[in-house]
Structure 1
Amino acid sequence: MHSFEKLLSDNKTWARQKKVSNPEFFTQLAKEQKPEFLWIGCSDSRVPAEIIVNAEPGEMFIHRNIANQMIATDFNCLSVLQYAVTVLQVKHIIVCGHYNCGGVKAALGRQSSQLVITNKWLMHIKDIYRLNKAEIDALPTEEQRVNRLVELNILEQVQTLAHTSIIQQAWHEDNRPTLHGWVYGLNDGLLKPLVTLYPDTEIEPIFKYDYHEAEMALPEKKLRSV
């Protein structure tokens, strides 16, 4: 049996077992999704989001990319974010990285001539290293340097989320979602919370959207349009 054929066979076994344990499982699942969480994670095959938190299908909306980045010009991630916040109305967004991340490790080295596109993606992490170079370089081992950059990257991605108009508008209008930064340990399977940003979190003024000002201007705009 080829490896891909095993996947198909295992899928049949899984679906059959689900029907036995809960005959209505797929009927209910097919109706709609109402996830409470958006998970932004790493593409690493060792960090399957639902499995490590023991979640069922339908409980989490998921976006994954190399080194769990939230880049302000990435329309793929932004479209997932907008749909999760505006349509699904998730209550929590989790940015989850993991220790010993290959993408972060690659960002600490020279750029590969064979991975031109990947280099561009990792440039954002290289910038995080550049801004925290003294702290990271002071650590005695490569593993410690990689893992500290993993943590700093997660913290930076949560901040980037808070700086988007999508999040700030939801904070202003609906008092949600709460943003979380977690890191996963491959060695022990445990999640470690690093940061939590609540809807009333103060962010740097230069990143703020002033919705109060916009609302005050609405009546004047309406008068001019009459």
Structure 2
Amino acid sequence: MINLTSDTDYQLLEIINQLRDKSEQQDVIGEVYDFLALLKGIKPVFLLGRTPMPKELIEKILKLALDLKLFVIEGCLWDATAYGQFPKWYTEYCRGQISEFKAWYICREEQFAMSIEKIIDLGGILSMDEEARLLGYPVCCVNAHYNRAHRYHRGSLSILKRLAKGNEQVMQELAMGNVQLAPKTNEEIEDFDFAFQIQTPHLGSWNMCDECKNGINSSSNELEKKYLSVIEKFLKLNSMQ
């Protein structure tokens, strides 16, 4: 665990303060808090690269991680989507799209580094429970995230089928050609509305499930408390500068 008075903390504090001054970067600050949570032992693995982030910020975080002798593993984005009910060609298409995105997985312990490398060797395929465990996110929220993904894919296939008039070969060609997916039927609109629900916590970057958002489930709230305990110390550190 990194001491709160270390140079690392001051570097992170500088990054956070810079982001706070830019309203368009508020989605990025959640990932910086995730990195901080990793350093303080709150989460096993930090995923860098999921949220669009300025290149210079990515480089700063990677340099910090390497300076701290953390494990930094580059690879494809993880995907625990249950594609079972979708056509094989669509599954291959989606996984091919995801494989084009680069991410960095940062952790403090070798056992987690080995788990990360194993998942990357499998093309980023893992279970929802495994993703929740490694990223330190509530299982209920990770499951909800992939439920939204499932609705997105269902809606997308419905649109492709409608545009192709049921011809699966044409559906594939439309998908490969990146045709605009505009929902029109009630079911398509409902699927897309559901898929694009964003319910981020005040601190951190996970997408909360409805139960956590509405206070029925306390998992996200408990995790936020852990984040807050660290961030409050940073605020105190900030006042000492």
TM score, norm. by length of structure 2: 0.25
Structure with the bigger percentage of helix: 2
> Which structure has more RCO (C-alpha within 8 Å, separation ≥ 6)?
2
Structure 1 or 2, whichever has the larger Rg, is 1
TM score, norm. by length of structure 1: 0.26
